[in-house]
Amino acid sequence: MSGLRDHKAQFDDASAQVLGVSLDSLETQTKFAESLKLPFPLLSDRNGKAATAYGVKGLLWAHRTTFVIDEGGRITAIFEGKDAIDPAGAVAACKSKSP
C-alpha cells in the first residue's frame, strides 16, 4: 500500500482512482490507512463477496492482487504476488488507458 501511496501523483496524472479492499474489518482498515497515511480509501469486504467475485478469496484471506479496471468496468490488467505490491505495472497500465 505504501508503494501505491508513493505513486499517487502518477495515478492522478492518469486520471485513475486507487482503492484498497481487504477482508479486514472497517476498524482495522481505518487504523491501517491512518498508520500509512494513505491518500485513498480502503474498503472492508468482511463477508468476502468482492474477493469471491474477483476470484481472489482464499481460505482465510484474499490473495494480494491488483486489478486495473477501466471506466466501463472492464478489467484491463491484473497483477499478482510481488507484482501486485510493485505499483509500476499498475501505473503503466493506467497511463496506457488515459486520454
Provide the 10 A C-beta neighbour count for residue 7.
Answer: 18
Q: What are the tens digits of pLDDT across the range 52-88?
A: 999 999 878 889 999 999 989 999 999 998 999 899 9
Indicate the pairing of strand 65-69 with strand 75-80: antiparallel
Q: Which three cell numbers stand for residue 55?
A: 476470484
Coil, helix or strand for 47? Answer: coil
Q: Residues, the chain, total?
A: 99
Confidence of residue 33 (pLDDT cuts 50, 70, 90): very high
Neighbour tally for 9: CB within 10 Å:
10
Whether the per-residue pLDDT at 98 is higher than 60: the answer is no
Calculated CA dihedral for residues 69, 93, 97, 6, nearest 10 degrees:
90
